């Protein structure tokens, strides 16, 4: 261990991270730090991506996914197991998440790289543009400069990274990163409205036998979701408001339709 003889240099104590994708174009990819993958070489022939995302969600996993096929690539950051920001060559956010899924379905190899929770939080604010940097005592996010990047958590420097922007800017992290929802083109069911049938209404009425049967099968969470559909929320809107993973709702919607509790449209 290095002996500072009482003259601790804080700059020397701050970890300098190594870029995972040096020279990458998308902002998110440019500032992702090196991390050995916990999973590498995944492909659709032996790994269902939605099942893998569900596994990461249940593990409250922090890190990023990288999918590449030829000269195409997509990057998705996970926070608490939730997809919170994404980037591809010409897209960010939900469209870039859709691009990762498209690449995977076309045969792309996927890898998963873990990160400490604090770094995942800092990176969660990276989108398609940088903002004016204003260091406040509680600033959490990335400060990008022509000379390198600084990771801040609650106003404190937690790491640096030799990746740059041609100008100075900031990517503030949200207090609680929101979950990305798949675009309509890939998850049309999630953006539809559903109408409760008489059976669905009985399933929410505590004095009916149908209610007890429904609650035993789906629990209070299922009742809350069914009620939200009855209030004309789409599954995507409910997932955003309730911080529920969208892939957990798809089998419920299918079950509700199959058992005659809801029908599409209305």
Residue scoring higher pLDDT (13 or 32): 32
Q: What's the whole-number mean pLDDT along residues 126-143?
A: 92
- Boundary of a domain, candidates 147, 172, 197: 172
The predicted model gives 105-125 an average pLDDT of: 96
243-256 pLDDT, tens digit per residue, is 777 777 888 888 99
> Average per-residue pLDDT in the chain?
88
Asked if 132 and 256 sit in the same domain, the reply is no
3-state SS track over the chain = CCCCCCCCCHHHHCCECCECCCCCCCHHHHCCECCCCCEEEECCCCCCHHHHHHHHHHCCCCEEEEEEECCEEEEEEEECCEEEEEEECCEEHHHHHHHHHHHHHCCCEEEEEECCHHHHHHHCCCCCCCECCCCCCCCCEEEEECCEEEEEECCEEEEEECCCCCCCEEEECCCCCCCCCCCCCCCHHHHCCEEECHHHHHCCCCCCHHHHHHHHHHHHHHHHHHHHHHCCCCHHHHHHHHCCCHHHHHHHHHHHHHCCCEEECC
16 and 121 fall within a common domain:
yes
Domain boundary residue among 110, 144, 172? Answer: 172
- Residue 235, classified by CB atoms within 10 Å of its CB into exposed (0-12), middle (13-18) or buried (19+), is buried
Percent of the chain with pLDDT over 90: 55
Q: Which among 186, 183, 214, 179 has a CA at the least distance from the CA of 200? A: 214
Query: How much is the pLDDT for 5?
Result: 40
How many domains does the chain fold into?
Answer: 2
State the residue range of the domain holding 27.
Answer: 10-172
Same domain, 159 and 239: no
- The predicted structure's pLDDT at residue 187: 63
Shared domain check, 193 and 162: no
pLDDT, tens only, 145-202? 999 999 999 999 999 999 999 899 999 999 999 888 766 555 677 778 899 999 999 9
Any idea what the Cα angle at residue 37 is, between residues 36 and 42, rounded to 5°?
A: 155
Q: Are residues 140 and 232 in the same domain?
A: no
In this prediction, residues 77-86 reach a mean pLDDT of 94
Q: Is the pLDDT of residue 240 over 50?
A: yes
In-domain check, residue 104: yes
Query: According to the model, what pLDDT value does residue 266 have?
Result: 59
Q: Which of 144, 172, 200 is the last residue of a domain?
A: 172
My answer on whether 100 and 202 are in the same domain is no
**168 and 245 share one domain:** no
Q: What is the predicted pLDDT for the residue at 48?
A: 85
pLDDT in tens, 191-223: 788 999 999 999 988 898 888 889 999 998 899
């Amino acid at each position: 261990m290095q002996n500072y003889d009482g003259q601790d240099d804080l700059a020397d104590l701050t970890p300098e991270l190594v870029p995972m994708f040096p020279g990458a174009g998308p902002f998110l990819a440019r500032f992702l730090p090196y991390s050995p993958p916990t999973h590498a070489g995944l492909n659709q022939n032996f790994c269902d991506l939605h099942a893998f995302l569900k596994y990461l969600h249940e593990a409250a996993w922090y890190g990023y996914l990288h999918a590449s096929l030829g000269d195409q690539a997509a990057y998705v950051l996970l926070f608490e197991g939730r997809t919170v920001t994404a980037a591809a060559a010409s897209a960010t956010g939900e469209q870039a998440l859709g691009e990762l899924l498209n690449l995977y379905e076309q045969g792309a190899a996927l890898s998963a790289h873990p990160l400490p929770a604090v770094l995942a939080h800092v990176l969660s604010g990276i989108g398609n543009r940088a903002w004016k940097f204003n260091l406040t005592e509680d600033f959490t996010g990335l400060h990008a400069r022509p000379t390198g990047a600084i990771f801040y958590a609650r106003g404190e420097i937690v790491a640096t990274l030799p990746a740059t922007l041609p100008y100075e800017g900031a990517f503030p992290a949200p207090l609680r990163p929101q979950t990305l929802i798949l675009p309509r083109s890939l998850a049309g069911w999630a953006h539809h409205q559903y109408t409760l049938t008489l059976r669905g209404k009985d399933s929410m009425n505590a004095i009916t036998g149908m209610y007890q049967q429904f609650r035993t099968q789906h629990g209070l969470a299922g009742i809350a979701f069914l009620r939200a559909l009855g209030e004309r929320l789409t599954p995507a809107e409910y997932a955003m408001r309730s911080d529920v993973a969208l892939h957990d709702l798809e089998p419920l919607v299918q079950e509700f339709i199959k058992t005659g509790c809801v029908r599409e449209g209305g």
